[in-house]
Amino acid sequence: MRAGFFSRPSGAIRAVDDVSFSVAPGETLGLVGESGCGKTTLGRAVLRLVEPSAGEVMLDGHNILALKKEELRAARKRMQIIFQDPWSSLNPRMTAGRIIAEPLQIHGVAKGKELWERVAELMAQVGLRPEQMRRYPHEFSGGQRQRIGIARAVALNPSFIVADEPVSALDVSVQAQVLNLLMDLKEKFGMAYLFISHDLSVIRHISDRVAVMYLGKIVEEAPRDELFKNPLHPYTRALLSALPVPDPQTRRKTIMLSGDLPSPANPPPGCYFHTRCPLKETRCMEHIPQLKTVSNGHKVACLLAEER
Amino acid sequence: MAAEKQKTLLAIVLRRLARNSFALWGGAAVLGLFAVAVLAPLVAPYDPSVVDTNVILEAPSAHHWLGTDELGRDVLSRMVYGARISLMVGFVSIGIATLIGVIVGALSGYYGGWVDELMMRFVDIMLTFPTFFLILAVIAILEPDIMNVMIVIGITGWMGVARLVRAEFLSLKQRDFVVAARAIGQSDAKIIFKHILPNAMAPVLVSATLGVAGAILTESALSFLGIGVQPPTPSWGSILTEGKNYIEFAWWLSLFPGLAILITVLGYNLLGEALRDALDIRLN
């Protein structure tokens, strides 16, 4: 909210509300949810690219949200982001080489000849030819551009990377290549990913653990296989039922959700999902369910699932 | 590295300009003005300030192509030297306006908040003044001198550029490549100058080209009113002033400077609009 002499009325939207999760070193946490549910905002808030109004983000024992401007700039070395749209994530007036070199220059990692050797090495690591260093972004394909963005993100050996739908703008044939690159890099450098996607098959492929988000809240979180085998939240079940099964004999009933995602500016009372939930009861409209552990590592925010 | 892309981008822009006949005419007029101004001592048939009492107010002839004025000075030569004033006024005053506008717009758009509020309200205040009368008032207080005229035109003409640059910054700072620059810990100054500004310059170039036309007109008007360029320095506006006293029988004193202003302003406008179309990369 703004106030002051020239104030304009502006509403506050809780794009992400009361969310808590952790990612272990070397782990990939998949964050899944439909568009507009706050996945991107969450990813950017964690990196303080949007300022959260409250909360705590701990990275290697330091609270990122408490850092001052210069401390934050230095801390950015350890946390990075890969963007969804490879067409807007690269400065059109900088060459690929200079884009990848920039983080190294800022943090004084390398300079002169060593800098360009390091850039060439990074390009090779992400599957680009070092000779392409002098080319501009518009001379690359979408998949190649995404590789440039990945090289920029891993240049400083970060311990944590937010991958915000890194393959959803790419052709299906290229998606697998980029996913495999991300997994190879993780193996090599041991960083942790917060992998944001709306695509369940991608999430299933890459994640160790999965968190499901609905309207700014995490409604279920579990190790990957547990979540896909035994989904507890009705929203997760609806999502999973939409996933195609590679077996023509299997017949599964698709749970169709009716209605639209409610506006986050005016969320429904009680459980945010009750307006579309096939199992809703009266109490769902009154009580907000908390994310509770129901079995080993499996958390769910549903009044009904808790009792089972 | 930079030359490679600039070559391709420049090639695209030049090709588009070449296909646009208005751009060619506009460019020719502007280039012609440049050539005449730079080569004035070679082009002018006479010394522009030499008085010749034998040829007072002579009509255009083989000796004096555009006639002579009330002191017997050659009108063509005076106009050739006047072109230098027009060129200088266009560049210096628009240079000042663009510099101020880019700085104000960049800070405003990048930082937002109270910085933006403060600067944009100041722009609003500046815009409430009728610019021409503001210039008149300031020149009346200062010395009427060509340098002062250029500075005043500059510091009263930056508001449009500021708003333009602010709007570009507002949209560009949301783009992922700018967010990426923040994410790798780049400094504000480098984000502004390396990442945003180079991508915001195309509309500024167009507005500057169109602005030159306005500045030339303003200078001519001020000189016409006698508070711009001071005699004996020739300027198109001051030739017009002298000419208005003899307009009934020495039409050439008013017609030719008027035509020169018309062609120059038209040339800059045509070029500016063609540039606007050519630089809009999104068209393709």
Q: Is the pLDDT of residue B260 over 60?
A: yes
A177 within 8 A of A94, measured Cβ to Cβ: no
Decide if A106 and B180 are in contact by the 8 Å CB cutoff. no
Distance of CA B2 to the CA centre of its chain: 28
Percent above pLDDT 70 for chain A = 92
How many contacts does A have with B, using Cβ atoms within 8 A? 66
- Band the pLDDT of B194: cuts 50, 70, 90: very high
Q: For residue B23, what are its two tokens?
A: 């751009």
- B5 versus B268: which is more confidently predicted? B268
Q: Please tell me the distance from the alpha carbon of residue B57 to that of residue B59, in angstroms, as a whole number.
A: 6
- Which pTM was predicted? 0.82
Closest CA to A203 of A235, A236, A234: A236
Enumerate the residues of chain B whose CB falls inside 8 A of the CB of residue A77: 185
Encode pLDDT of B123-155 as tens digits: 999 999 888 888 888 888 887 788 888 898 999
**Amino acid A265: pLDDT:** 77
From B9, which residue of chain A is nearest by alpha-carbon distance? A93
Asked if residues B277 and B16 have their Cβ atoms less than 8 Å apart, the reply is yes
Asked whether B256 and B75 are in contact (CB, 8 A), the reply is yes
**In angstroms, rounded to a whole number, what is the distance separating the alpha carbons of residues B59 and B64?**
8
Q: How is domain B2-45+68-278 classified at the CATH fold level?
A: MetI-like fold (1.10.3720)
All residues of chain B having their beta carbon less than 8 Å from the beta carbon of residue A59 are: none
Contacts of A47 in chain B (CB under 8 A): 183
Q: What pLDDT is stored for residue B220 in this prediction?
A: 86
Which of A76, A80, A136 is nearest residue B5 as measured by Cβ atoms? A136
Chain B touched by A146 (CB under 8 Å): no
User: Do the bridges between strand A62-63 and strand A292-295 make them parallel or antiparallel, or are there none, so unpaired?
Assistant: unpaired
Residues in chain B within 8 Å Cβ distance of A89 = 176-177, 180
CB distance A136–B182 less than 8 Å?
no
Do B176 and A92 make contact, defined as CB atoms within 8 angstroms? no
Show Cβ contacts of residue B54 under 8 Å, excluding neighbours closer than 6 positions: B72
Q: Is A161 helix (H, G, I), strand (E, B) or coil?
A: strand
**Helix, strand or coil for residue A286?**
coil
**Hey, what are B177's tokens?**
């490549």
- How many whole angstroms separate alpha carbon B264 and alpha carbon A123? 51
ipTM of the complex: 0.86
Nearest-CA distance A304 → chain B (Å): 41
- Say what percent of chain A tops pLDDT 90: 41
Which residue do the tokens 């990813």 mark?
A43
Find chain B residues with C-beta within 8 A of A98's C-beta: 1
Contact B185 A97 (CB under 8 A): no
Q: Write the single-letter amino acid at B127.
A: L
Q: Which helix (H) or strand (E) holds A218?
A: strand A217-223
- Name the pairing type of β-strands A292-295 and A298-300: antiparallel
In B172-209, which positions are buried (b, 16+ CB within 10 angstroms) versus exposed (e)?
bbebbbbbbbbbbbbeeeebbebbbbebbbbbbebbbb
